[in-house]
Chains A and B, each alone.
Chain A
Amino acid sequence: MMSTTLLQLMWVHRAEAGRFRRTPTFRDIAPIDRADLPVVPGMRFDPDDLARVLAVLQVAPRTPTWELRAAERSDGFIVPLLAVVDADMTVAFAPVERLRATIAAALPFAGSDSALRSAIDAAEVLLALPHLVTAAETLESHSARISGAFARTPRDLPPDHLQTMAQRALLEHRHYERRPMFGGPHLRLELSSRDRPSSGVRGGIDASAAGHLPIASRFSARAIVEVHRDLERDGGGVVARVLAVARAVATTK
């Protein structure tokens, strides 16, 4: 049996879908036959737009994540460019929700473990602040402290039990990290290549995509992205705005 990969379109930025017909990058790509249009669950589309998006995903050349660039015009303006990437997509979770989920996972063990109880209590004091404005690192250090206290006591459970439970809760409830990016609320994510895991690109996807993504920490995807210069970091890096995403589904034939 041979293993093959199919693409399942999960989400498209509806307001941007018509753009793929006009942009020079994709204008010459013929849309797929409307009779072959697959179902995109939970989304309603202009069939012409959908046919174009699928054709772009299918035939447009893929750009490796480490070669994604925004363009600098001759007049000095930086303009975002569209590209198609094959990458592993990892959507980030909100650190405050990770801390809450870690506490919840630790509670059943806290009754007889004073060190664990103390780590939980310290985190609860922080979370009880009426306006919690703090760095992600602070919240993550509390999560790490609770996990460390849990791991120090021998139990019939793997040492990373709390992280596993917390990760699952975050996924089940889709507690993704939301940030204002590209003019609206977006989920923070990273696109990385299996060939070069260190060459990941930061990015965002419109917050309305949250319920369309697979319930998985990381999944193989093909995406249409708009590549912007990363203005938050020096060094000419880029940040990718995901406009359409299909997951890769492994199958056999």
Chain B
Amino acid sequence: MEVLRNQGAPPLDRIPVAQGRILASAIEAGLVDIAVRRKPISARRALDLYRDLIDIEEHAERGDAERISSLSITSRRPLQLVAYEPTCVPAVRRDARFAGVLERLATRPVTEAEDFEAADEQADIEERREILEVLLRGEPVRSLPAIDSTASFYGAPLVLLDATIELPFNEVDAMWATLAALTARGERDAENEPLAKCATELGQRRSSCSAPLVEGMTSRLAARFDRRGPVERAALGAEIARALVGARSRQQRTVFGSDCVRGLWHASDASSEGIPIYIPMEFAGRLPSLDRLDVRVLVEVHPAIDAYETETRCLRAVALAIAGAAAE
């Protein structure tokens, strides 16, 4: 059995008796082998740990070794729900993989914090709790499921991912930022001016430009920095990236009936370009100003919707939470 290593858990004598008993039982049953590091933990971390222990106990009772081996009681990170699509809730409730999580939730009373958050969002409190619980306690997958070719209709399976999502910069914004950097560094000499003018013309026609056309122009502009040293080129690159991150510049596509931000998920079994993940704009407006995000995200898996993508599949986010830094 795969060994579960607990790098940040408390010494056993610090775990409350009841929880310690659960853990001890699991270890005794040979289902869990935990390397405990002697380090105190916060109350929030203890609560997370306790929840994990409950999971372990339940799965130990069922003899579900595979599930236990996939549990990581060290990797739990606090999640902040960004948004979810209410239309996904019936499908989540029907999904057998989340049934256990939702059953356990049903017996837990609504906390004051949950009540407050839901009131703030004006969302259905039950829906919100269920989605958050599935994001928090559902089992993420490492690779996407194969298409069920026995069905007549493509069903767009729901999948929970523990993922780092890359949010590439909008192509036209990246060109503008490169042009601004070129101008600010006094690079608009007679040699560069025609190129700068052409870039300006393209930027003013953004709805008539394709992504590769603009990217080509950005590369040509960036090449004007080549005569500078590698240190200065790197500094300029970082400056351009900072400007774009600050401006929340993101690629946008209109797919599946709504305007979405295009992100990339680099699955372990996918090509290096990444699988496109389309995040509805109402989610994207609440994302932090970063170009890479650690998220727990519930996605629908679809065949590629954009013929110009190299991947044969794409994802559509229906519920998304940001994973913060672990408390310990």
Contact = CB atoms under 8 A, between A and B. Distances in A.
A216 B314 CA distance: 14
Interface in A226-249: 246, 249
Given A107-B201, A214-B307, A251-B149, A41 B156 contact: yes
A38 B257 CA distance: 16
Interface stretch (B1-9, B207-215, B288-296): B207-215
Contact of A6 (B152, B207, B220, B257): B152
Interface in B251-305: 253-259, 300, 302-303, 305
Contact of A174 (B152, B211, B254): B254
Interface residues of A, number: 47
Nearest to A246: B153
26 contacts: A6-B151, A6-B152, A8-B156, A11-B257, A35-B94, A38-B156, A39-B155, A41-B156, A41-B316, A42-B256, A54-B153, A101-B209, A105-B210, A105-B213, A107-B198, A107-B201, A168-B212, A172-B211, A172-B308, A211-B255, A212-B257, A214-B305, A215-B253, A215-B255, A246-B153, A249-B303
Interface of A: 4, 6-9, 11, 35-36, 38-39, 41-44, 54, 58, 97, 100-101, 103-105, 107-108, 110-111, 165-166, 168-169, 171-175, 210-212, 214-217, 246, 249, 251-253
Contacts of A175: 207
B253 A104 contact: no
A6 B151 CA distance: 7
A213 B257 CA distance: 8
Given A215-B308, A249-B147, 15 more contacts: A6-B151, A7-B152, A100-B205, A101-B210, A104-B208, A105-B210, A107-B198, A108-B202, A111-B194, A168-B308, A172-B211, A175-B207, A215-B306, A217-B307, A252-B149
Nearest to B199: A108
Contacts of A172: 210-211, 253, 308
Interface in B122-146: none
Nearest to A106: B213
A175 to B, nearest CB: 8
A103 B202 CA distance: 10
Q: Which 9 pairs between the two chains have the least Cβ-Cβ distance?
A: A42-B257, A41-B256, A216-B307, A253-B149, A168-B210, A169-B210, A8-B154, A215-B306, A38-B155
A110 B195 CA distance: 11
B216 A108 contact: yes
Given A100-B205, A252-B149, A165 B156 contact: no
